[in-house]
Amino acid sequence: MKAVICDHIFPDIEQEKLALACVPDLELVDANCTTKEEVMAACADADAVLNQYNYLTEEVIDSFKKCKVISTYGIGLDKIDVEAASKRGIYVCNSPDYNKCEVANHIVTMIMTLSRHLKDFDSRLRRGEYAVPYDWMKPARPTSQTVGFVGFGKIARQAAEKLNLAFGMKVLCYDPFLTAEQTAEAGGEKVELETLLRESDYVSINVSLLPSTRNLIGEKEIAMMKPSAFLVNCSRGGIVNEEALVAALKSGKLAGAGLDTFEHEPLSKDDPLCQMDNVILSPHAAWYTVDAMRELQSVTAQQAALVLTGQEPTRCVNYEEVKKYRK
C-alpha cells in the first residue's frame, strides 16, 4: 500500500513514520505538492492521503483511484470537499484536539496584550517617548470588562475559563448549538449575537469556516460593537470581512484587533492591517508549540494507519456518510 503526504511545514516526518509503521509493506511518499495537478499525479494510486494546505476539490478527489482515507493536518475542513469524498467511500479525518490549549492561550494573550496596550507602549518607548498618554489611553480593570465568544467549543471554553477565573472577566457566548444550561455549565451566559457584540469589550471568533459563517462578522456586525472594543480572531480569516474591519479600525469605530488568521494567507506586508498600530498580528501560529506539532503529525498519521489496517478511524467527520455510500 501507499500513503502520500501532499504537503507539510514540519521539519521532518518522523512522527508519521512511527504512526504508520504498523502498516505492512507501506510506501510513504513525502510529495511536497503545491498545485492540484501535482496532488492528482502524486495521489492517483495512493491508499491514504495526508494533506495540510492543498485544496482537495471534487475534481482532485475523483482522480484518487484507490484512496480509502484522507487525513488532514488540523481541525478545519474548508480545504476538503467532504461530500465528494463520502460519495467515493473515502473517510475524511481531522485532528480536533491537538491544539486546544495552545489556541486558548493565544486568545488570552492577545486579549491581555490589547487590554494593557503593550504594543503601543513598546512602540512609543522605542521612539523615545517615555510617558503614558493619559489623554487617550484609558485601560480598564478586567474585572469590569466582558469578553464575548462567537462559538463556544473546546478552545473557547478553555479561554473563557482562564479569563474568568484568573482575571475576573464576565463571559458572554453566542452558539446556536448549545442550550443556555450547557453554556452556563461551561461558565458563560448564552446571548444572541447582537447582544454579544453590543455588550462585549472583547469579541473572540471561535467558529469553523463554513458557507454559513463566511463574512459572519461584517460591516453591520462591527458597527454594533463598542468603539472601545477589540476583535480577536484565532479561528479562520474568512469569518471576518477584512475590508469592513480595516475601515472600522481606520475610522476609530473599533479600538483594535488581534488577528492570527486572514482572508488571504500568507498576509502581504503591504496589507493595510500591517500598517496599523492598533492591531496585533501573528502568522496563523496560535496552534504552535513543539508538543502540539508532534501530536498533530502523530494523530493525522494514526487515522490513516487505522484505516489501512482495517480498523475504524477515531477522528472521522463523515463516518456515517461513508457507511451509507458503501452499502
Residues with active-site annotation: 236, 265, 284
Element at 137 (helix H, strand E): none
Prior bond of 266 cis (ω within 30°): yes
Q: Which residue has the cell 452558539?
A: 175
The CA distance from 32 to 39, in Å, is 9
Q: How far apart are CA 112 and CA 104, in angstroms?
A: 12
Strand order in the sheet with 69-72: 27-30, 2-5, 48-51, 69-72, 91-93
Question: What values do phi and psi take at 216, rounded to 5?
Answer: -60, -35
Query: How far apart are alpha carbons 246 and 272 in whole angstroms?
Result: 7
Q: How far apart are CA 115 and CA 137, in angstroms?
A: 10
| Closest to 199 (Cα-Cα) out of 147, 150, 248 | 147
Rounded to the nearest 10 degrees, how much is the dihedral formed by the CA atoms of 35, 41, 42, 47? 120
DSSP-based three-state secondary structure for 3:
strand
Q: Which burial class, exposed, middle or buried, applies to 45 when counting CB atoms under 10 A from its CB (0-12, 13-18, 19+)?
A: middle
